[in-house]
A and B are shown apart, each in its own frame.
Chain A
């Protein structure tokens, strides 16, 4: 258990509306990540953060923005949701195990954009 929660766990929204997903950690880890997962694909990195106010893009960042105003929370925002953003979104943190940093994942948020 890596102390990660995601909210909401399920959301249905309409095209064009803004959506914010929250990832919360309890262990004060520096690195946090947002991935999406779609049928036929593995997980794909959207954005990641390496500290408060420090973020960078992943391979599928278009249409998404992120914010990290405090260590424990990493927010993913869809400014104007589209049907192509229907997906399962996973948050991850990076922590040290056996002298090597390893990612641990949250339970996911299922988002349906109608």
Chain B
């Protein structure tokens, strides 16, 4: 079973920040938090990952709480093309266990 809890769906207005939460209260010390997304019919796309510190790349920012029991993926300026299912995964990278993710819909 996936070790994360995510809301099943969220909506966001185009141009606004999308903040996707994830709970992972049983995360182990050596497990990373990964975020992937899957746009309809395509393969999952890697977004970002982190261990303890907040991370930012060209796609998104990842905020991890100090106790590491939850995290938030931030898409700073959502576009219609960001509509997808977003998966939060905790893993040591050898095996990824995907849950059902959050269906993010970006509205015009």
Which residues of A does B touch, CB under 8 Å?
A: 31, 35, 40-45, 48, 58, 90, 92, 94, 97-98, 100-108
A102 adjacent to B43 (CB under 8 Å): no
Closest 10 CB pairs of A and B: A42-B98, A105-B43, A43-B98, A101-B93, A105-B44, A42-B99, A90-B43, A108-B43, A107-B43, A106-B43
A92–B42 Cα gap in the complex (Å)? 13
**Interchain pairs with CB closer than 8 A, number:** 49
A42 adjacent to B95 (CB under 8 Å): no
Nearest neighbor of B44 in chain A, beta-carbon distance: A105
Selected A-B contacts with CB under 8 Å, 6 pairs? A40-B100, A90-B44, A92-B43, A100-B51, A104-B46, A108-B41
Please name all residues of chain A whose beta carbon is closer than 8 Å to the beta carbon of B101 when the two chains form the complex: 42
Please name all residues of chain A whose beta carbon is closer than 8 Å to the beta carbon of B43 when the two chains form the complex: 90, 92, 105-108
